[in-house]
Amino acid sequence: MTTEQGPKRNMSPIFQVIETLHGDQPWGSLLDAGTGRRSLEWVSGLDTERWTAVTASQSMAEVAGKAVSKARRAQDRIIVGNWMSDDLLYGEGFDTVLLDYFIGAIEGFAPYWQEQVLQRIRPHVQQRLYIVGTEPYVLDDPGTEAGRIVRSIGRLRDACLLMSGGRPYREYPVSWVQRQLGIAGFRVCEIRHFPIRYRERFVNTQLDMCLRRLEYIDDEALSGALRAHVEALRAQALPLARSQEGLPCGADYLIAAEPLDPRHHLIDR
DSSP secondary structure string for all residues of 1-24: -B-SSSPPP---HHHHHHHHHHTT
pLDDT at 262: 56
pLDDT at 110: 84
Q: What is the dihedral of CA 243, 249, 254, 260, to 10 degrees?
A: 180
The distance in angstroms from the start CA to the end CA of the chain is 36
User: CA of 217: how far to CAs of 1, 107, 212, 231, 268, in Å?
Assistant: 50, 21, 10, 17, 46
Q: Where are the domains of the chain?
A: 1-136+171-196+250-269, 140-166+200-245
The CATH class that applies to domain 1-136+171-196+250-269 reads alpha beta
Helix, strand counts (H, E) of the chain: 9, 7
pLDDT at 8: 45
User: CA of 250: how far to CAs of 27, 148, 151, in Å?
Assistant: 31, 11, 10
Instruction: Put residue 165 in one of left, alpha, beta given phi > 0 → left and psi -120 to 50 → alpha.
Output: left
Residue by residue, pLDDT tens for the chain (269 residues) are 333 333 445 479 999 999 999 999 999 999 999 999 999 999 999 999 999 999 999 999 999 999 999 999 999 999 999 999 999 999 999 999 999 999 998 887 888 899 999 999 999 999 999 999 999 999 889 999 999 999 999 999 999 999 999 988 889 999 999 999 999 999 999 999 999 999 999 999 999 999 999 999 999 999 999 999 999 999 999 999 999 999 999 999 999 999 997 555 444 43
Contact 269, 90 (CB under 8 A): yes
Contact 251, 135 (CB under 8 A): yes
pTM (two decimals)? 0.90
Buried b (16+ CB within 10 A) or exposed e, 45-78: bbebebbbbbbbbeebbeebbebbeebbeeebeb
